Copies of this chain bind each other. A is one copy, B any other.
Amino acid sequence: MNAELQTKGRAAKAASRVLGTLGAEAKNKALHTIAAAILQEEANILAANRQDIEAGRVAGLSEALLDRLLLTSARLQSMANDVRAVANLPDPVGEEFDSRRLPNGLQLSKRRVPIGVIGVIYESRPNVTIDISALCLKSGNAAILRGGKESVHSNQALARAVQLGCEAAGLPAATAQLIESTDRELVREMLRANGLIDMIIPRGGAALHQFAIENASVPVITGGIGICHVYVDRAADPAKITPIVVNAKVQRPSVCNAMDTLLVHRAVAAEVLPAVADALAQYKVDLRCEPNALSILGGAAGVQPAGPADFDTEFMALIAAIKVVDSLDEALDHIYAHGSGHTEAIITEDYSAAMRFTNEVNAAAVMVNASTRFNDGGQFGLGAEVAISTQPLHARGPMGLKELTTYKWVVFGTGQIRP
């Protein structure tokens, strides 16, 4: 194993033993000293960020990517505020649940505890370094961070601020550590660092998630890929259709909970589709239509026939696929065949259709008469979000602090032995 990973992994394990027993006060104090350290280190952080920005220009990064990479005084202030906001969230550790007294008198509980060491592999935005460090610390976990090579200097300076903040509060510096090597092979080694890392969260595109699934022996939380459907039922309230569809598609088209495919019941398609297409045209959304939808919309702005892959694509852009379906059953079958298990919505006033949709669709979030864009930790009231999981184990949908914990069984006895 790579020496840096081994050294930092061992230090993280040792730190996690300390973090696991801390109360919320000690953790919150450290979050505040981290926020202060981010501001104190501003000059160093911005200087490091200039190195990354210059290297990015030389490498020909787009202006959009350079803007994602850029740190400013205002952005650092905002990061520090985010860290203080994490201090204000409730501490999930120590909660007891499923408690019971057994007939033999044993008093039994599940007690929420940290997972241990969490490895996060992420791409360009440097604020992730701070976000993840704060959320892992608050949930009692040590973090091992592997950022993108475009932001390596910024990430080093930010991680240094986190470590200074931890030390100022008397916590181990190894509470959050950045892997500084940008060797790609290290990602593979992190994914197989059983015994040093307890859970890996990849944050990035489909290729990173697929790489993690195929190569990890450490448990991995995968997700983030959303092929999301909005189904307009025959009993949809006309006043709700366009606002929800437009919001789901255009409010932030580059993210995983944006709508990709619009399904419309045949009985209302001739009425619904032109109005929806008009509204989407104002945002210059390209519409990829199967033949029935095309026969209704043909000739309208931005309308074209759907290609073979359009119903299996996460567009991440102002593009939507459109299909007319004969029934709720056909909509359910389409979602079963093409959905990615992220977010699915129905628009209907029909009670039974709403019940069937929520019962039968299998996805991280299933919604009635609401925009798919709500599937988000902040929107769901979790206070923060580490990732959105689309796999069924451990946690599904938005992952907040609680989803960074596990439990142990605590058993208080008075001398019981098993008969």
Contact = CB atoms under 8 A, between A and B. Distances in A.
Contacts of A362: 17, 20, 113, 116, 408
A396 interface: yes
A409 B396 contact: yes
Contact of A415 (B240, B360, B375): B240
Interface string A90-105: 0000000000101000
Interface in A374-417: 374-375, 379-381, 391-394, 396-398, 406-417
Instruction: Provide the main secondary structure of the chain A interface.
Output: mixed
A412 to B, nearest CB: 5
A265 to B, nearest CB: 18
Given A393-B406, A416-B374, A418-B373, A21 B360 contact: yes
Given A370-B416, A416-B370, A396 B392 contact: no
Contacts of A413: 367-370, 374
B237 A415 contact: yes
B414 A369 contact: yes
A145 interface: no
A411 B368 contact: yes
Contacts of A411: 365-368, 370, 374-375
Contacts of A367: 410-413
Interface string A19-42: 011000000000000000000000
Interface in A336-383: 336, 354, 358-360, 362-371, 373-375, 379-381
B359 A393 contact: no
Contacts of A373: 417-418
A247 B392 contact: no
B244 A417 contact: yes
Please provide the 7 A-B residue pairs with the shortest distance between their CB atoms, ordered closest to farther: A370-B413, A247-B417, A392-B406, A240-B415, A373-B418, A365-B409, A367-B411
Given A199-B393, A368-B413, 20 more contacts: A21-B360, A106-B370, A111-B358, A116-B362, A198-B391, A198-B392, A219-B391, A237-B415, A240-B415, A243-B417, A354-B412, A365-B410, A368-B411, A369-B414, A369-B415, A370-B415, A375-B411, A380-B409, A394-B394, A396-B407
Interface of A: 17, 20-21, 100, 102, 106, 108, 111, 113, 115-116, 194, 198-199, 213-214, 216-217, 219-220, 237, 239-240, 243-244, 246-247, 251, 336, 354, 358-360, 362-371, 373-375, 379-381, 391-394, 396-398, 406-418
